[in-house]
Amino acid sequence: MKKRTMETSLADHSPKLIRSIERRLFLRQGLSLGALVLLSGCELTDDQRVQKILTGMSRWNDSAQALLFSPTKLAPEYPESAITKPFPFNAFYSEEEVPDVDGRDYKLELAGLIRDNKPWRLPELYALPQTSQVTRHICVEGWSAIGKWSGVRFSDFLARVGADTTAKYVGFKCADQYYSSIDMPTALHPQTLLAFRYADQILPPEYGFPMKLRVPTKLGFKNPKHIMSMFVTNEYPGGYWEDQGYNWFSGS
Amino acid sequence: MLLLVSALCATAGAHAAEPSRVGVKPMKMDEPMKTGMMKPGMKVGDVRKAAEKRDRELKPMIEKESGSAKKPKDPPERRTYN
């Protein structure tokens, strides 16, 4: 019998998503190759120029993926018996360096195209209607794990603060300096959560206290933890890994 | 008495304006990143530098957009959960 490890293979459990991402990667690489062929008459050692063109192709690919995104298609949900224990810690720093946010004076700052940008304290956020999901977190590194997150549906929160939902992006800044952003259709997806709890407990620091964005339709790096502020904008906000060349859309 | 009340109000106002506190567990900025996503040579401190750069780039537009968003006359009442 095949032994199951804690961090099960992405290919084992998410063949559809992997295939979809692989298709996009193939398309992107194909287009990148095309871009290089087009550039063959140019100075290929001009890194900046090549990088600019490849970035442009990647952004075009993002737009194509956004067009293919279905706002009603749901990510698979699982029974609680399928939850991965323990849920893996993953960050660009070690577990000992997890930011220690003080919940007593925490305020979620809002900016950009939001009517009511008064900051939110944790007791106010906890009082909003909450929902739970047991979904699979899929890391671009090639592992995945199932967990239970609870919080407020992000679309409800955006409606409550009067966010301009015709805007293109929602950006996030985090206590660990990480930053990321998502497209508005994904922000309004019914499974996108502003999560305050993991496994029915207040989100522990290692999983993103005081809150993380849980987006089961996207790869793990599009799920920022320790969110301190968010903004709605039409200006492309990028993200840390996205700015390093990872695909910005990174989802199904 | 009035002076005392004013001083207290000013202190409370100043406290309310403080940003959320993040505890001191300094990251080892010069250490290599602890993720398989890194490229050779990437360090923990690179994230802060990139975030500050991106913040500087976005700030003028976000401020402009914040200013253009219509403010509500009667924002919905907020409850708290204890």
Domain-embedded: residue B17: no
Q: Give the Cα separation of B11 and A221 in Å (integer).
A: 40
Looking at per-residue pLDDT, the higher value among A75 and A32 belongs to A75
How many H helices and E strands in chain B?
2, 0
Confidence of residue A54 (pLDDT cuts 50, 70, 90): low
How close is the nearest chain A Cα to the Cα of B6, in Å?
23
User: A126 contacts in B (CB within 8 Å)?
Assistant: 80-81
User: A107 contacts in B (CB within 8 Å)?
Assistant: 19-20
Q: Are strands A8-9 and A169-174 parallel, antiparallel or unpaired?
A: unpaired
Domain-embedded: residue A1: no
Number of domains in chain B: 1
Of A68, A88, A114, the last residue of a domain is A68
Indicate whether A84 and A139 sit together in one domain: yes
Q: Give the Cα separation of B76 and A119 in Å (integer).
A: 14
Number of domains in chain A: 2
What pLDDT does B82 receive? Answer: 61
Which domain covers residue A29, as residue numbers? 10-68
Nearest to A181 by CA among A138, A229, A146: A229
Domain-embedded: residue A148: yes
Indicate whether A15 and A129 sit together in one domain: no
Partner residue facing A141 (CB), from B36, B63, B71 = B36
User: B80 contacts in A (CB within 8 Å)?
Assistant: 121, 123-124, 126-127
Domain-embedded: residue A250: no
Domain-embedded: residue B81: no
Q: What angle do CA A109, A218, A224 make, to 5 degrees?
A: 30
Task: Look up the CATH number of the domain holding residue A200.
Answer: 3.90.420.10
Decide if pLDDT at A15 tops 60. no
Indicate whether A59 and A90 sit together in one domain: no
Q: Are the beta carbons of B27 and A121 separated by less than 8 Å? A: no
What pLDDT does A135 receive? Answer: 98
Looking at per-residue pLDDT, the higher value among A4 and A119 belongs to A119
Domain-embedded: residue B21: no
Domain-embedded: residue A5: no
Indicate whether A22 and A122 sit together in one domain: no
Decide if pLDDT at A208 tops 90. yes
User: B70 contacts in A (CB within 8 Å)?
Assistant: 115, 162
Confidence of residue A38 (pLDDT cuts 50, 70, 90): very low
What average pLDDT does the segment A168-176 reach?
Answer: 98
Q: Is A237 on the interface with B (CB under 8 A)?
A: yes
**Per-run averaged pLDDT (10 residues), chain B, 82 residues:** 48 53 78 89 95 97 92 76 66
Domain-embedded: residue B33: no
Residues with Cβ within 8 Å of residue A120, at least 6 apart in sequence:
A107, A108, A110, B78
Which domain covers residue B58, as residue numbers? 42-68
Could you tell me which residues are beta bridge partners of residue A145?
A137
How close is the nearest chain A Cα to the Cα of B30, in Å?
11
Mean pLDDT of chain A: 84
